[in-house]
């Protein structure tokens, strides 16, 4: 028997998915009522979802391999709404994807930038090179337009151009928060987010500076009509007070960027536990309060 031939048959590679996807809606119905966990798991177990919140098209090889990274603490109902709306959204776009929730243990001030860096590094330890594109995503943002494709492009791609909570859609010209897409190379070349912004605000503006003052990565934003998101209404979380140093920190962004980011991540956190649930992978971390 020709073993090579047999092997080849067994791993026969599926053809690429078509680059045309039919039936994308410009205004998707969003359901803001949180289902229970039992309801969620029952609904999605039929969709071919794999443990850890992984999914890919059955009959073709997706052109898009993306890890969705979400900074998280104590937003259980938001997470249920997110999963309920966004799993079908990602599947409709025929993505090969996995959802990572990077959860910060209670007791330290929330640090969104640090959690996203941790998600970028730790997800690669789990998946190797399976995903070459990363969506850095708030848990409370639900995409409205299915034409807002979760792929990466030549420049960093800001997705959340038009969020319901802002009157004019875009918060301000240099706004980069909410949802953004990076290739592995783009994220590495800007040294990721800063690790040192504890509490609310500033970390996204620092990232914007890194991207636009960097010769390699560039910044792009999807059109307002495409980048529509509903933000689930919420108050400021108790563990995430406004960061009073954010303006001062932003002024020294340029000086810190080489050390404060992916390059300085070692030793700033401990992974306590990794769980593969049906609808997502949880990376549970304790963070050094002075990073
Ligand atoms: C804005 C930006 C956000 C970030 C933040 C400043 C929007 C839509 N988003 O969000 O990208 O720049 O300002 O830090 O404008 N989170 C938790 N638990 C917490 C606190 C935060 O899970 O206790 C996560 C969660 O994913 C949340 C995200 O961090 O969506 C951003 O925090 P936020 O929603 O409180 O801040 P917001 O809406 O002003
Ligand atoms: Mn929010």
Report how far residue 60's alpha carbon sits from residue 21's, in angstroms, rounded to the nearest whole number.
Answer: 12
Distance from Cα 250 to the centre of ligand 2, integer Å: 21
Q: Which of 41, 231, 256, 276 is catalytic?
A: 231
The reported pTM is 0.95
Residue 4 has pLDDT above 70, yes or no: no
CA distances from 262 to 114, 175, 240 (A): 9, 22, 22
Q: What is the pLDDT of residue 25?
A: 97
Active site residue 140: yes
The 10 Å Cβ neighbour count of residue 30 is 17
Q: What is the pLDDT of residues 98-146, one digit of tens each?
A: 999 999 999 999 999 999 999 999 999 999 999 999 999 999 999 999 9
Q: Which one, of 180, 200, 175, lies nearest residue 112 by Cα?
A: 200
Q: What is the pLDDT of residues 247-269, one digit of tens each?
A: 999 999 999 999 999 999 999 99
Distance from Cα 22 to the centre of ligand 1, integer Å: 33
Active site residue 200: yes
* Reported confidence tier of residue 19, pLDDT bands at 50, 70, 90: confident
**Ligand 1 nearest atom to the CA of residue 238, by list position:** 23
Question: H or E segment at 120?
Answer: helix 112-127
Q: Which one, of 280, 255, 134, 129, lies nearest residue 196 by Cα?
A: 255
Cβ–Cβ < 8 Å for 88, 271: no
**More confident: 106 or 3:** 106
Q: Residue 209 corresponds to which tokens in the numbers above?
A: 């500076």
**More confident: 7 or 262:** 262
Query: What is the number of the ligand closest to the CA of 71?
Result: 1
Query: What is the number of the ligand closest to the CA of 138?
Result: 1
Distance from Cα 71 to the centre of ligand 2, integer Å: 11
Active site residue 4: no
Q: Is 206 in the pocket of ligand 1 (CB under 6 A)?
A: no
Report how far residue 145's alpha carbon sits from residue 137's, in angstroms, rounded to the nearest whole number.
Answer: 16
Distance from Cα 73 to the centre of ligand 1, integer Å: 10
Active site residue 203: yes
Q: Which of 94, 96, 122, 138 is catalytic?
A: 138
Q: What is the pLDDT of residue 112?
A: 98
The torsion angles phi and psi of 172, rounded to 5 degrees, stand at -165, 165
Q: Whose CA is nearest to atom 33 of ligand 1?
A: 236
Q: Is 198 in the pocket of ligand 1 (CB under 6 A)?
A: no
Cβ–Cβ < 8 Å for 156, 217: yes
């Amino acid at each position: 028997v020709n073993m090579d031939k047999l092997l080849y048959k067994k791993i026969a590679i599926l053809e690429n998915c078509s680059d045309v996807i039919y039936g994308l809606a410009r205004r998707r119905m969003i359901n803001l009522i949180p289902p229970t966990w039992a309801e969620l798991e029952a609904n999605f177990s039929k969709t071919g979802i794999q443990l850890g919140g992984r999914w890919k098209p059955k009959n073709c090889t997706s052109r898009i391999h993306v890890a969705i990274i979400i900074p998280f603490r104590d937003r259980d109902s938001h997470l249920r709404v997110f999963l309920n709306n966004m799993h079908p959204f990602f599947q409709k776009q025929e993505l090969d994807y996995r959802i990572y929730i990077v959860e910060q243990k209670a007791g330290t001030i929330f640090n969104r930038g640090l959690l996203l860096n941790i998600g970028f590094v730790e997800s690669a330890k789990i998946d190797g090179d399976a995903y070459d594109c990363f969506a850095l995503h708030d848990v409370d943002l639900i995409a409205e337009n299915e034409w807002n494709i979760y792929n990466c492009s030549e420049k960093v791609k800001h997705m959340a151009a038009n969020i319901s909570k802002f009157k004019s859609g875009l918060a301000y010209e240099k706004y980069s928060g909410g949802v953004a897409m990076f290739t592995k190379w783009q994220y590495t070349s800007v040294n990721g987010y800063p690790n040192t912004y504890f509490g609310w605000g500033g970390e996204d503006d620092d990232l914007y500076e890194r991207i636009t003052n960097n010769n390699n990565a560039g910044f792009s934003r999807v059109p307002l009509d495409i980048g529509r998101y509903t933000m689930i209404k919420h108050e400021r979380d108790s563990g995430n007070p406004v960061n009073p140093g954010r303006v001062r920190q932003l002024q020294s962004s340029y000086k810190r960027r080489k050390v404060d980011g992916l390059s300085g991540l070692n030793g700033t956190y401990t992974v306590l536990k990794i769980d593969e649930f049906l609808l997502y992978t949880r990376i549970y971390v304790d963070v050094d309060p002075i990073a």
